[in-house]
Amino acid sequence: MSKARMSPLRSSFVHLALAAYTVIALFPVVLTIFNSFKDKNAIFRTPLALPTTETFSLVGYTTVLKQGDFIGYFQNSLIVTVVSIFFALLFGAMAAFALSEYRFRGNTLMGLYLAIGIMIPIRLGTVAILQGMVAAGLVNTLTALILVYTAQGLPLAIFILSEFMRTVSDDLKNAGRIDGLSEYAIFFRLVLPLVRPAMATVAVFTMIPIWNDLWFPLILAPGEATKTVTLGSQVFIGQFVTNWNAVLAALSLAILPVLVLYVIFSRQLIRGITAGAVK
């Protein structure tokens, strides 16, 4: 942050721009939530109006909770997202540690290879993945989704974390080695806590595409027992008739868990405990 004070005019422009961006970003979300509390007529007649006492209706939410196993869908989504993030972070961090800490032949090449996934979308391999999952008998299981999402999250995790791990002081790791910590203990007890902000960043970037994904649940796990929220909401969107109340209610509900996760991770983003470790 610069110490020089900005002129009021300049700072008001900055705030104007930021406020405009906030409005644009939040508008669809707010609109979705407002309309999810209105009856069907009101959604179409006055889509931008706030719900009033006349137009207020919870019909969307009751439909969602009655029809289909929405609690189950939520559970599926949460399990898939949380477990995938966990594995992507764990394996990503381990690979990143190896790449940044050890000198071995092919280190750079390995780093590039692991980062290729950032540039090539995993969906290109959908057919092969489906064939593989069929052969492994994993179709219609959450495991299939978790495996795919872990793979999808790894490249970015490795890329970001290896950069961060290079900044962790060598002396600290060496002090750990002299104190008799194993390489695993050094990784888990010294390095991971220090790169926690980076881990949170990666978690947020990994989480949102997984939560919102429709593609892989549709292809790998379309069965009733393994549906995720995004896939579950699709039952209300028909070719000819769409139950907008239910769709909007489902989407509003789907925001909540991801919001909670985001709040948890972003706390970590702000915290820095590295201060005082090394000068």
Which parts of this chain interact with another protein (CB under 8 A)?
A: 169, 171-172, 174-181, 189-190, 193-194, 273-279
Q: Structure tokens of 133?
A: 């999952």
Output 33 or 172, the one with its CB closest to another protein.
172
| Residue 163 CB, nearest approach to another protein (Å) | 20
| Residue 112 CB, nearest approach to another protein (Å) | 20
Output 190 or 218, the one with its CB closest to another protein.
190
Give 59's contacts (C-beta < 8 A, 6+ positions apart).
Answer: 39, 40, 245
| Residue 92 CB, nearest approach to another protein (Å) | 21
| Residue 100 CB, nearest approach to another protein (Å) | 16
Output 22 or 174, the one with its CB closest to another protein.
174
| Residue 277 CB, nearest approach to another protein (Å) | 3
| Residue 191 CB, nearest approach to another protein (Å) | 11
Residue by residue, what is the 3-state secondary structure of the chain?
CCCCCCCHHHHHHHHHHHHHHHHHHHHHHHHHHHHHCECHHHHHHCCCCCCCCCCECCHHHHHHHHCCCHHHHHHHHHHHHHHHHHHHHHHHHHHHHHHHHCCCCCHHHHHHHHHHHHHCCHHHHHHHHHHHHHHHCCCCCHHHHHHHHHHHHHHHHHHHHHHHHHCCCHHHHHHHHHCCCCHHHHHHHHHHHHCHHHHHHHHHHHHHHHHHCCHHHHHHCCCHHHCCHHHHHHHHECCCCECHHHHHHHHHHHHHHHHHHHHHHHHHHHCCCCCCCCC
| Residue 188 CB, nearest approach to another protein (Å) | 12
Q: Nearest Cα to 95, choosing from 159, 173, 189, 31?
A: 159
